[in-house]
A and B are shown apart, each in its own frame.
Chain A
Amino acid sequence: MNTAHQDNGNLTVGSTVLSLLEKMGVETIFGIPGVHTIEIYRGISKTNIRHITPRHEQGAGFMADGYARVRGKPGVCLVITGPGMTNVLTAMAQARADSIPMLVISAVNPKSNDQNELGLLHELPDQGALVRQVAISSLKVTKSAELIPALKNSFAKMLTGKPGPVHIEIPTDIQKLLSDFNPEDANMAYEISEDQLDHSIIANIADRLNEAKKPLMILGGGAKACNQYLYELIEIIGAQAITTINARGLLGDHPLCIPASPSLACVRQKIMAADVVLAIGTEFGKTDFDLYGDGGFPPIQYLIRVDVSEDQLTKNVKPNMTIKSTATKFCDQLLREIKSRDFVPKEIIQLKVHNQIIQEKCLNEIESKLRDPLDLILRLINHFPEAILVGDSTQPIYAGNLYNNVKKAGHWFNSATGYGTLGYAIPSALGAKLASPISPVIGIIGDGGFQFTSNELMTASDENIPVIFIVWNNNGYKEIKDSMKIERIFPVGVTPKPPNFKLQAESYDLSYYLVENRHDLIKIVNTALETEMPAIIEIRETTY
């Protein structure tokens, strides 16, 4: 098991990986070392990269995800082959569904590719085939000269078009070869190709919007980067803008923004009434547009779709016009075009008033069982406008996904959409805090989801990452229990006994607070934030 390569200036391929990554701007990596990756770890002392060790590779993946969302650059994981790889799959799939750039570097056994089974440690025949189902690319480095191109290609792939998780596997024998390059001299610049926009289409879109009486925008996660243009754009066009879950926070408190789900009837009415809908960076995914699976998403009179990814342009809802572009470039050009002509500004005062009515309607539409959970979310947003809220699949998050007026782009994200996994919020919130240490970060999780990854609270304590975890305790998988009731199924497997949260916090050296009722919430969160220690705040649904 032990191959004693001395650090004598002749660098091994494995030991250069982290230096190369540092050159590409990587500051933090998440990983659990093993015999199959130690040659890569050899290189870490030559860098300033911070290494975070989670308690499970699933934690590493979710941390990288949260980190990427907040930092705006790829989150990086380093895992062993076999179980390290399979442990991180769920996180990669969540990142894939939400278009989050994530790089997973793994080892692989030298001979166990191509279905060859020899019973090697951690053997996983055809690891690449498996990972390709969740990654947008998976490359194997088969010789020293392939490492740098693999890294550049993977970064380009992550950042061109629709982002997503990528994977590079480096066989253990290749890791130990002497490298044929010096990382200090390596040129790690990579190209991101951008499509040229066809001016006539932009002009065409501008015409349409100009003529429209009731234009409307729908902003998805792909629009996150163009926030700066959006304010001006909606005002000139006179369009209200609906934000999907992953776009929530775009346009902040702007009175033309409708931060509510297109699964709600009143939002759908709005969409149906619009004579032109300009949709940017959204796949019209079911977890936003047809949450209840009622198939009731209305026909759109005239739909213009903007997306970086070709196949996204026609998914789910048929467009009348499409344009393949990054959101930023498109908004920039459209704005120039509009400003260059005598655009008739729409009357928006009326719209603003109308917008308030819509927001109220949304709130009224929210079913009664989600009222208390929503109250929690809205209180947090109103009192902690700077906070990043990271959520799990739990009732307060479902409520907030239906409606919330979070103030900043990127300050609301969760795993209740897309892949819809549990146990995301704890590790992801840790990643978010590492990405932005000055922002207050609040993880929101149910008592059931909590138990999926509660081991990562130990990482919070070990690495001293002061995140606040709000546990919404309703004694079980409430959402599933409710569904069983509706389906007339005798409840089974939906009341996992929760731990004693106070003692669990204590055992990990975290602070603990119990919110007796909603009026204590803000005071307690404030106290917890002030101590600058990670903390668990328990809320019991029945007393809230």
Chain B
Amino acid sequence: MNMTCGEATIKLLSNYGVRIVFGIPGVHTLDMCRGLTDVKKTGSMRHVQARNEQGAGFMAEGWARATGEVGVALVISGPGVTNACTALGQAYADSLPLLLISAEPDSKTIGKGWGVLHEITEQKKVTEPLTAFSATARHPADIPELFARAFSIFTSQRPRPVHISIPLDVQAEVVREDWKPLSFAKPLRAGKEQIINAANLLKLSNKPIIMIGGGAVNAGKDLLPLAEILGAVVISSTAGKGIIPDSHPLHLSGSTVRSEVQGYIRDADMILAVGTELAETDSFVERLLFKGDIIRIDIDPSKINDFYPAKMGIIGDASLAIKGLVEELKKHDGTTRFNSACAEVVKIRASIKKNLTSTERKHQKVLDILQEHVPANTIFSGDACQLVYTGAFGFNVAGPRQWFYPAGFCALGNAVPNGIGAKLAKPDKPVVVLVGDGGFMFTMPEIITAAELRLPLPIIIWENGGLKQIQDDMDNSNIKRVGVEGINPDFETLAKACHCKAIYADSDKAFVRAISEGLKVDCPTLILIKENDPWLT
């Protein structure tokens, strides 16, 4: 069957198993849109229309966070691409598979500076620093090749976003073949010898710690026995929350930022770091100090000797490597260590609780109510706001991919569209958005998208009169406040304007009711919490 290259591209996407693309159409993507609507030719692909390409990118990001599979955004050239850049930056920093497919002006105009519509100096160079690779398809035949390269990055390497541009004339060409997906190499298995050496080092340790990050997201089943055999305390980054249930007696989830935990890390004699960069964004200190040695397991060789050079580096898939370690350590008896480790965790958790600031206590109150009243499989989509900073260590999720936070690039406004992407990916799971009043406004129009899709989506907005984190930073640095005290809209009316519901939670009871209603109705519910309300203290 003859198709245009635009249609064939959509067909290839569905051959790769993609079911939804997020985007905004334009005259530059018409041939791809043709593919979106002709089910007979191209398979059924759902198009979800965002309100700004940034929202489309963030939704694709949410899809990737929820599933580990690629999230796809489809946009026009020029402004479509620059609008989606922030989402690429997020996916790059947080190692998520995201595919941006965009148009590009007619091939013969590229680089000429003729002033054609949506022209940019060189489109692929804009996204190059934000992607594993960015390429322009010069001919239809380039497309299956570029897809193969992209999908092998998504499935067998450290996932990173990819951008593929298809010029107008290329989209319109006729394609006669039926492009098929390729199969991919299995993830890399670390060498046996390295595993044995690492196991030996761990055996010798009197006080091991396991630090885990997003790279270990599929290794939970294996990590749990390892931690228990060794009697090692597990400290996850925010990206690693839930890989081991946060409530596990050995787990100090998402708490590297706490000085109580940093002290504990300092005293360990061996750290096993799995799929984590040990990044600044989890500790907010310039360098984590520790006496002990560090063994690092990572799929990305460049991570073995970066800011924290490893005593021993193991390159490979986290899950396979940990399985190997468990096998080697089967006979190890860490029972005594296990018992003291559990006691240490209890103590640290208690001291964290004791040392909370008065604002953090308010967050904790809300988080505790949530903990009690939402199902255990709920996905939380968090923005960069203080409630979520506290939630990183103050909230327990049950499993991986349930706590979203844009730790690295840290763009405001991701939480609502991430939540939309997650809900579409996992319609059976409850999704709850946690966002600050400042961050909410960044992508506010996307709540209409969620309403249009009839998604039940409680959106908890923490109102503290502006960009509080930066207010605090300014106050602490003796800087007169500027630009951080913007006023808010009347959220209840705004919700109505955007076909959503709103509930002002002015008491524990009201909050509990708001959550349960928010999870039931088929539209987003803005749940408003005001930091200065008395019920929080």
Contacts and interface: CB of A to CB of B under 8 A. Distances in A.
Contact of B115 (A119, A123, A285): A285
B152 interface: no
Contacts of A422: 79
Contacts of A497: 448, 451-452, 499
A130 to B, nearest CB: 5
Contacts of A189: none
Given A97-B115, A286-B114, A504-B494, A6 B478 contact: yes
Nearest to B93: A123
Contacts of B281: 119-121
User: What interface size band does chain A fall in?
Assistant: 35 or more
A421 interface: yes
Nearest to B483: A53
Interface in A497-544: 497-504, 506-509
Nearest to B125: A133
A501 B448 CA distance: 12
A504 B520 CA distance: 25
Contact of B129 (A53, A87, A129, A419): A129
A472 B117 CA distance: 22
Interface in A328-369: none
B497 A504 contact: yes
Most buried by A among B113, B117, B499: B117
A438 interface: no
B479 A38 contact: yes
B467 A90 contact: no
A83 B489 CA distance: 24
A59 B117 CA distance: 21
Interface stretch (A177-185, A251-259, A405-413, A449-457): A449-457
Given A4-B476, A499-B448, A506 B490 contact: yes
Interface string A1-25: 1111111000000000000000000
Interface in B426-480: 441-445, 448-449, 451-452, 467, 469-470, 473-474, 476-480
A507 B441 CA distance: 13
Given A55-B442, A316-B115, A458-B486, A4 B409 contact: no
Nearest to A450: B445
B280 A118 contact: yes
A404 interface: no
Contacts of A123: 93, 408-409
A133 B126 contact: yes
A506 B488 CA distance: 12
Contacts of B478: 4-7, 42
A110 to B, nearest CB: 10
A435 B246 CA distance: 53
Contacts of B36: 492-493
A493 B476 contact: no
B479 A41 contact: yes
Given A452-B52, A492-B33, A503 B78 contact: no
B490 A496 contact: no
A17 to B, nearest CB: 13
Contacts of A283: 114-115
A120 B279 CA distance: 6
A509 B445 CA distance: 17
Contacts of B491: 507
A420 B78 contact: yes
A33 interface: yes
A45 interface: yes
A35 to B, nearest CB: 5
Contacts of B452: 496-497
A315 B470 contact: no
Interface string A93-134: 110110000000000000000000111111111110110111
A494 B123 CA distance: 25
A504 B500 CA distance: 12
B1 to A, nearest CB: 17
A421 B115 CA distance: 14
B489 A454 contact: no
A509 B489 CA distance: 8
Interface in B1-37: 23-27, 30, 33-34, 36-37
B118 A419 contact: yes
A118 B470 contact: no
A86 interface: yes
Contacts of A502: 497
Interface stretch (A200-208, A266-274, A483-491): A483-491
Nearest to A45: B480
Contacts of B443: 56, 455
Interface string A410-449: 0000000011111100000000000000000000000000
B498 A38 contact: no
Contacts of A503: 493-494, 496-497
B132 interface: no
A344 B451 CA distance: 69
B482 A462 contact: no
Contacts of B93: 82, 119, 123
A138 to B, nearest CB: 12
A198 interface: no
B486 A493 contact: no
A2 B122 CA distance: 39
B120 to A, nearest CB: 6
A294 interface: no
Interface stretch (B267-275, B323-331, B410-418, B503-511): B410-418
A106 B198 CA distance: 44
Nearest to A55: B441
B85 A315 contact: no
A493 B126 contact: no
A7 to B, nearest CB: 6
B298 interface: no
A207 B284 CA distance: 71
B126 A130 contact: yes
Interface in A26-43: 31-35, 38-39, 41-42
A480 interface: yes
A421 B79 contact: yes
B530 interface: no
Given A121-B280, A451-B52, A507-B489, A38 B410 contact: no
B129 to A, nearest CB: 4
Given A6-B478, A86-B86, A126-B129, A504 B412 contact: no
Nearest to A130: B129
Contacts of B26: 480
Contacts of B280: 118-121
A477 interface: yes
B157 interface: no
A93 B490 CA distance: 33
Most buried by A among B34, B115, B307, B493: B115
Contact of B445 (A87, A132, A455): A455
B13 to A, nearest CB: 15
A7 B474 CA distance: 13
B89 to A, nearest CB: 5
Contacts of A498: 448
Task: List the 7 closest pairs (A to B, CB-CB), nearest first.
Answer: A285-B115, A119-B279, A83-B411, A503-B497, A421-B79, A507-B493, A507-B494
28 contacts: A7-B478, A33-B484, A55-B444, A55-B486, A82-B411, A86-B130, A87-B54, A97-B119, A119-B93, A121-B280, A123-B93, A133-B126, A286-B115, A286-B117, A287-B117, A420-B117, A451-B445, A453-B52, A462-B486, A480-B27, A487-B34, A490-B37, A497-B499, A499-B448, A499-B498, A503-B493, A507-B493, A507-B496
Interface of A: 1-7, 31-35, 38-39, 41-42, 44-45, 51, 53, 55-56, 58, 82-83, 86-87, 89-90, 93-94, 96-97, 117-127, 129-130, 132-134, 283-288, 311, 315-316, 418-423, 451-455, 458-459, 461-462, 477, 479-480, 483-484, 487, 489-494, 496-504, 506-509
Given A287-B115, A507-B491, 9 more contacts: A42-B477, A117-B302, A118-B307, A133-B120, A285-B114, A285-B115, A458-B489, A487-B30, A487-B34
